[in-house]
């Protein structure tokens, strides 16, 4: 079905909804990397480049939102989502309808190395009231998520990837904010994944299937609010859960899954796959193998869990 980077799909989607006069796009000298150049050309009166000043960009976005606009503030996730004090006070506490768009999330960006890899952004923003967190895994899901977020009530963080990912959704896919999607049913082990780790988990499930293991794959495109019911149901049905994310497991999806299972009192075993350190330079494939995020490594984690 092809492959596209979710940041590219975002750039296409924002042009598609750009006719709505509420839509304003901001960037900090990254209109090429965040794929907002087409919007800038189509709607120059509603595009602002504030330069390398992400805190100001967030505050300006909040002011636009408080005047009825739906501003999309776009930069690398590491540089915008981690301006935490401005996200907290100007965006979250004001309940301002800002869309914080963080591209280049995780070690999947590859060669640029650790300083550009956001691995704590989800944990930080998850602690802020009012802010939704959405991480689509492919092109169609990004398109539908952007369309949904135009009318979402409240602030939201949209976490996007630099690298291309295989398309797993049809064009007529219906995005349901806050509802995890069962992409593959299974009874022995459940992968609870988000972003590019959805495709890796599907790959792991195919490897395991050849070995006679039935794996469920849950696509958690909305990390907050978390679909705890779907995760608890998977834990009950499979008894073994592997959370999978390109982010630090502490406070990220892995932390959220642990909270959901723990609070429900389900006696399932959980392995959290994700980062526990900063990243480094390399190709996506090399890094996903090194840090345990590849389909093969996820399948290995499942085998290990099943043999306990």
Partner 1 sequence: MPHATDAPARPDVQTLRDISRELRADIIRMLVEAKSGHPGGSLSAIDALVCLYFGGVLRYRPAEPEWPERDRFVLSKGHCTPALYSVLARAGYFPRERLMSFRKFGSPLQGHPDRTRLPGVEASTGSLGQGLSMALGMALAARIDGSGRRVYAMLGDGEIQAGQVWEAVMSAGNFGVDNLTAIVDCNQVQQTGLVRDIQDEEPLAAKWSAFRWNVIECDGHDHAQVLDALDGARACRGRPTVILARTVKGKGVSFMELDYNWHGKAPSPEEGERALAEILAGESSPAPAALRGKGDR
Is the Cβ of residue 45 or residue 172 nearer to partner 1 in the bound state? 45
Q: Where are the alpha helices (DSSP H) in 67-169?
A: 77-80, 84-86, 121-126, 139-150
What contacts 8, CB < 8 A, 6 or more positions away? 35, 139
> 298, 273 in Cβ contact below 8 A?
yes
Closest Cα to residue 77, out of 32, 37, 124?
124
Contact 31, 37 (CB under 8 A): yes
Nearer to partner 1, 28 or 274 (CB): 28
Residue 223 contacts residue 134 (beta carbons within 8 Å): yes
Instruction: Report angle CA 19, 21, 24 to the nearest 5 degrees.
Output: 95
Core vs surface per residue 145-162: b (16+ CB within 10 A) or e:
bbebbbeeeebbbbbbbb
Q: What's the token pair of residue 266? A: 């389900």
Q: Which is nearer to partner 1, 89 or 266 (CB)?
A: 89
Least Å from the CB of residue 93 to partner 1? 5
Fill in the DSSP letter of residue 32: T
Residues of this chain that bind partner 1 (CB under 8 A): 21, 24, 45-46, 48, 50-51, 53, 55-56, 58-69, 71, 85-86, 88-90, 93-95
The dihedral through the CA atoms of 233, 234, 236, 242 has a sign that is negative
**Bridge partners for 277 per DSSP:** none
Q: Which is nearer to partner 1, 68 or 265 (CB)?
A: 68
- Does the annotation mark 209 as catalytic? no
Q: Which residue has the tokens 């506490």?
A: 93
- What are the C-alpha distances in Å from 265 to residues 228, 275, 289? 12, 26, 33
Pair 167, 196: CB distance under 8 Å: no
Task: Please pick, among 54, 141, 181, 245, the residue that the annotation labels catalytic.
Answer: 54
Torsion of CA 95, 96, 102, 106, to 10 degrees: 0
Cβ proximity to partner 1: between 53 and 228 the closer is 53
Residues with active-site annotation:
54
């Amino acid at each position: 079905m092809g492959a596209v980077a979710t940041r590219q799909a975002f750039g296409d989607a924002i042009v598609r909804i750009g006719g709505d006069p509420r839509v304003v796009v901001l960037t900090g000298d990254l209109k090429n990397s965040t794929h907002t150049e087409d919007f800038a050309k189509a709607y120059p009166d509603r595009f602002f480049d504030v330069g390398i000043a992400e805190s100001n960009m967030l505050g300006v976005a909040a002011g636009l939102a408080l005047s009825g606009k739906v501003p999309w503030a776009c930069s690398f996730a590491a540089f915008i989502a981690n301006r935490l004090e401005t996200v907290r006070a100007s965006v979250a506490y004001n309940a301002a309808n800002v869309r914080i768009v963080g591209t280049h999330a995780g070690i999947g960006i590859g060669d640029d190395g650790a300083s550009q890899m956001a691995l704590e952004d989800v944990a930080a923003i998850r602690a802020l009231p009012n802010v939704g967190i959405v991480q689509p895994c492919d092109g169609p899901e990004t398109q539908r998520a952007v369309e949904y977020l135009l009318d979402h009530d409240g602030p939201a963080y949209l976490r996007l990837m630099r690298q291309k990912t295989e398309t797993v959704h049809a064009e007529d896919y219906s995005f349901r904010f806050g509802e995890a999607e069962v992409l593959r049913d299974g009874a022995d082990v459940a992968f609870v994944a988000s972003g590019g780790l959805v495709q890796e988990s599907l790959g792991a499930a195919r490897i395991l299937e050849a070995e006679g293991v039935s794996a469920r794959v849950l696509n958690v495109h909305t990390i907050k609010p978390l679909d705890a019911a779907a995760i608890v149901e998977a834990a009950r049905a499979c008894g073994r859960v592997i959370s999978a994310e390109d982010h630090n497991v502490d406070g990220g999806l892995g932390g959220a899954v642990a909270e959901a299972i723990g609070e429900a009192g389900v006696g399932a075993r959980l392995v959290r796959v994700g980062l526990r350190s900063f990243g480094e330079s390399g190709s996506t494939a090399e890094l996903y193998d090194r840090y345990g995020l590849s389909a093969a490594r996820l399948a290995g984690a499942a085998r290990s869990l099943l043999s306990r």
